[in-house]
Amino acid sequence: MGIDPRLAWMPDELSSGDGPDERALALERFGFEILDLVSDQAACVKPQSAFFEREGWRGVRALERICAEARRRGLLVIGDVKRGDIGSTAQAYAEAAFGRDGSEDILFDAVTVNPYMGRDAVLPFYELGQRRGCGVFVLMRTSNPGAEDLQNCLIDGRPLYERVAALLREWAPKGDLGAVVGATRPEELESVRQMLPDHWFLLPGVGAQGGTMSQAARSVDAKGSGILVNVSRSIGHAWRTRGRETAPADWRDEVRAAAMAYRRDLEEAIEARS
């Protein structure tokens, strides 16, 4: 379950004003409502850090509270941060996500990382994550239209995203580095799985971006597992998929129904693959 709280789409009852305190409180209320509605349907939550960071320290505090509550409920928390720096900066980002060695503070159970700067941008997260029991999902073949600008560029006759897959095998031969692969690329999912048979995939793109659970299920591993399918707007703001700009009075029912429907669709799609 992606938690992408957009203030402009927020149900009116969750917001009490437009000041910085009120905006941050609306984000927190939305996150807790989502947890109430989907905790028994989702394996993980994936908050998009940017929607919280833009509200400054108040927004970050709201993010921390939502993450702590999600973990208290037994959900894994994937921080959608897409960090991509190197050296001591990457180490600092990793410690912000996973906590320093010896600390009890862990904000995220896993994070998304951009590998464009190579191993120096990934290994600080991976190595600290190994010590802290946390995970990393490396951007590989993403669902956005602009992904074609770089990810399909040929290197020695092969697309760049295949080079990233080869690096994941090199950096983590046991499969303990995940990959972000868009569910909007069904023609590539099975070939990517063949390249990375033991790695976990984080699959965005289902719902608002046009991907389906049937497409996502094409990348399950040999055990019929190995995928985390993310749905954000189409559940958290389900009413907008029906063409309504404003949240209806029964918006909670719509969110709950959408979560249950997507879970059912995924279960059926995986079963059909077995």
Domains parsed from the chain with CATH numbers: 1-42+49-74 (no CATH), 43-48+79-273 (3.20.20.70)
Answer yes or no: is pLDDT of 274 > 80: no
110-114, 146-150, 262-266: least confident range: 146-150
**Contact criterion met (CB below 8 Å) for 193 and 225:** no
Provide the annotated active-site residues. 82
**Average pLDDT value for residue range 145-167:** 90
**Average pLDDT value for residue range 195-214:** 89
Share of the chain above pLDDT 70, in %: 100
Answer yes or no: is pLDDT of 19 > 80: yes
**Contact criterion met (CB below 8 Å) for 180 and 189:** no
**Contact criterion met (CB below 8 Å) for 268 and 216:** no
Arithmetic mean of pLDDT over the chain? 93
Answer yes or no: is pLDDT of 209 > 80: no
**Average pLDDT value for residue range 217-245:** 90
Per the rule left: phi > 0, alpha: psi between -120 and 50, beta: everything else, 187 is: alpha
Would you tell me how many other CB atoms lie within 10 Å of the CB of residue 15? 16
Share of the chain above pLDDT 90, in %: 73
Answer yes or no: is pLDDT of 208 > 80: no
Task: Give the dihedral of Cα atoms 134, 139, 141, 147; nearest 10 deg.
Answer: 150
Confidence of residue 174 (pLDDT cuts 50, 70, 90): confident
Answer yes or no: is pLDDT of 11 > 90: yes
Confidence of residue 186 (pLDDT cuts 50, 70, 90): confident
pLDDT of residue 179: 96
> What would the pLDDT profile of 57-90 be if each residue is shown by its tens digit?
999 999 999 999 999 999 999 999 999 999 999 9
pLDDT of residue 210: 80
What is the rounded CA–CA span in Å between residue 130 and residue 138? Answer: 15
pLDDT of residue 15: 86
Angle at 144 between CA 170 and CA 183, to 5 degrees: 70
Point out which residues pair with 46 in neighbouring strands.
2
What is the rounded CA–CA span in Å between residue 3 and residue 51? Answer: 9
Answer yes or no: is pLDDT of 27 > 80: yes
What is the rounded CA–CA span in Å between residue 57 and residue 121? Answer: 25
pLDDT of residue 173: 87
The residue type found at 127 is E
What is the rounded CA–CA span in Å between residue 85 and residue 45? Answer: 24
Query: pTM to 2 decimals?
Result: 0.94
**Average pLDDT value for residue range 183-189:** 81
**Average pLDDT value for residue range 203-228:** 88
C-alpha atoms less than 13 angstroms from C-alpha of 224 in its C-beta half-sphere: 9
